[in-house]
């Protein structure tokens, strides 16, 4: 929105005023060029490492990821990764409690099935189980394709130019593993990046995350939870799923075997230690998250100037990994804060003061 642009200019000007040396032509160039501009003389191993990190954080590699976005994304793990007790579930529970504390209601197992807009009337959100909710403002935490499906033919302008399917971006192939904790080296890192070849993705690059040993909520006694993911193209999975179910199952097995073997580089003995292995494809993602085609990660961050704006209409807003700064817990939270402030501004209400950080006992630096 124009207010957002003014905000960026105001913040940018005050940041530059604090140290005029920041006004460097290289920094300006970085707003337009890819990370690769900084890696021309980098050893191949470093470039691959950066590509692996960027693929997770920016959904594209150094040849395409915008340099300013890439700098922020690469800095995130360097600032320190933390784990919450209970993992992602703990985060969701904390957010739900915050909503309730502020007088809100959280309704579980309610799927929005329709959004009805009427001129000069509140919006109505209908749910599959027959609920109808009227709202002055709707904030949709969905992909643009999911929102378009809920609106039917009544699409706001930004959704009218939506291609029939995402042309860029990814799906994920996942392994959810339960393993004996003896296979996890004592005091070792909880996150690993494994690269076995290029192009990255499709099992050539893996990202492993282990549950911390101190978190008894994540796995039975003596075991750990492990997730392994690789970026994968959506269409081959859907073609096989609809056209040749046996080939779909066989591809799933191939990916599982290849990934487990490759992951042994980081966790030797993984296959013997695994008690449970559940594979997930883009079809699984669509089923459990309702994201169309199992499209995850939002749009690759190739340009600062092509991002989706969060305002669909004056009273319908978009949050989540589609809007800048894209995917990850940190980025979607930042995008959400920006939208909350914009809505408060547009309704003439003051922005609340920043909240205190969560109690320290819930946050743990990464490590065993
Ligand atoms: C394999 C993988 C690994 C990742 N690892 C990390 C990581 O280690 N750290 C990190 O920070 N980020 C990670 N991410 C990214 C992170 O998961 C996403 O950025 C984040 O989940 C995106 O949040 P979102 O709110 O945009 O969408 P979502 O998380 O998809 O949330 C949308 C919600 O809306 C619900 N919904 C959908 N349709 C409807 C409907 N019609 N009615 C009601 N509800 C509906 C869905 O059930 C879902 O709960 C990972 C992503 C993937 C795919």
* Side-chain half-sphere CA neighbours of 320 within 13 A: 18
The residue whose C-alpha atom lies closest to atom 18 belonging to ligand 1 is 328
- Provide the β-strand partners of residue 279: 175
Contact 341, 85 (CB under 8 A): no
Contact 100, 231 (CB under 8 A): no
Residue among 111, 142, 207, 287 to mutate when testing ligand 1 (max atoms within 8 A of CB): 142
Written as tens digits, the pLDDT of the chain (368 aa) is: 677 778 778 888 888 888 888 888 898 899 999 999 999 999 999 999 999 999 999 999 999 999 999 999 999 888 877 888 888 888 899 999 999 999 999 999 999 999 999 888 999 999 999 999 999 999 999 999 999 999 999 899 999 989 988 889 999 999 999 999 999 999 899 999 999 999 999 999 999 999 999 999 999 999 999 999 999 999 999 999 999 999 999 999 999 999 999 999 999 999 999 999 999 999 999 999 999 999 999 999 999 988 888 999 999 999 999 999 999 998 999 999 999 999 998 888 888 776 665 554 455 666 66
Report the pLDDT value the prediction gives residue 367, as an integer from 0 to 100.
60
Report the pLDDT value the prediction gives residue 349, as an integer from 0 to 100.
87
Ligand 1 pocket, residues with Cβ under 6 angstroms: 111-112, 141-142, 146, 172, 174, 209, 229, 289-291, 296, 320-321, 327-330, 332
Report the pLDDT value the prediction gives residue 7, as an integer from 0 to 100.
78
Domains of the chain, each with CATH number or no CATH: 87-165+297-349 (3.50.50.60), 170-294 (3.30.519)
Strands 316-318 and 138-140: parallel
Q: What are the tokens at 368?
A: 């065993």
Return all residues near 308 (Cβ < 8 A) that are at least 6 apart.
Answer: 144, 158, 299, 318, 322, 323, 324
Report the pLDDT value the prediction gives residue 171, as an integer from 0 to 100.
98
Report the pLDDT value the prediction gives residue 358, as an integer from 0 to 100.
57
Q: ω before 325 within 30° of 0 (cis)?
A: yes
What angle, rounded to 10 degrees, do the helices at 234-243 and 282-289 form?
Answer: 90
Q: What are the tokens at 216?
A: 């008894």
Calculate the alpha carbon distances from 194 to 49, 190, 321 in Å. Answer: 9, 13, 25
What is the DSSP code string of 199-219? Answer: SSSTTSEEEEEEPPTT-TTSS
Checking ipTM against 0.95, whether it exceeds it is yes
E strand map for the chain:
82-84, 112-116, 123-127, 132-135, 138-140, 171-180, 191-195, 205-210, 223-232, 274-280, 311-313, 316-318, 363-365
The residue whose C-alpha atom lies closest to atom 24 belonging to ligand 1 is 320
Report the pLDDT value the prediction gives residue 88, as an integer from 0 to 100.
87
């Amino acid at each position: 929105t124009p207010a957002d642009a003014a905000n960026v200019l105001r913040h940018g000007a005050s940041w530059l005023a604090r140290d005029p040396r920041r006004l460097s032509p290289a920094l300006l160039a970085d707003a337009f060029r890819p990370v690769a501009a900084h890696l021309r003389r980098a050893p191949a191993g470093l470039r691959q490492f950066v590509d692996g990190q960027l693929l997770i954080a920016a959904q594209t590699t150094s040849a395409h990821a915008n340099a300013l976005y890439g700098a922020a994304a690469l800095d995130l793990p360097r600032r320190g990764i933390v784990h919450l007790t209970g993992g992602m579930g703990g985060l969701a529970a904390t957010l739900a409690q915050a909503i309730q504390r502020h007088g809100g209601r959280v309704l579980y197992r309610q799927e929005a099935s329709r959004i009805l807009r009427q001129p000069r009337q509140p919006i109505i959100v209908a749910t599959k189980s027959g609920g109808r909710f009227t709202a002055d403002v709707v904030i949709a935490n969905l992909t643009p394709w999911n929102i378009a499906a809920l609106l039917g033919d009544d699409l706001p302008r930004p959704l009218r130019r939506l291609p029939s399917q995402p042309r860029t971006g990814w799906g994920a192939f996942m392994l959810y593993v339960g393993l004996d904790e003896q296979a996890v080296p004592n005091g070792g890192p909880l996150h690993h990046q494994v690269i076995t070849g290029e192009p990255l993705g499709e099992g050539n690059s893996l990202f492993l995350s282990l549950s911390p040993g101190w978190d008894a909520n994540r796995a039975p006694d003596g075991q750990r939870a492990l997730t392994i993911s690789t970026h994968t193209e959506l269409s081959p999975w859907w073609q096989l799923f609809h056209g040749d179910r046996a080939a779909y199952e066989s591809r799933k097995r191939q990916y599982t075997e290849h990934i487990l073997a490759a992951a042994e580089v980081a966790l030797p003995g993984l296959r013997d230690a695994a008690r449970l292995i559940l594979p997930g494809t883009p079809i699984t993602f669509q089923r459990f998250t309702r994201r169309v085609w199992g499209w995850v990660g939002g749009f690759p961050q190739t340009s600062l100037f092509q991002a989706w704006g969060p305002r669909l209409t004056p009273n319908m807003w978009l949050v989540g990994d589609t809007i800048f700064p894209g995917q990850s817990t940190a980025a979607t939270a930042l995008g959400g804060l920006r939208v909350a402030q914009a809505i408060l501004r547009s309704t003439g209400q003051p922005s609340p003061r920043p909240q205190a950080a969560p109690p320290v006992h819930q946050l743990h630096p990464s490590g065993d």
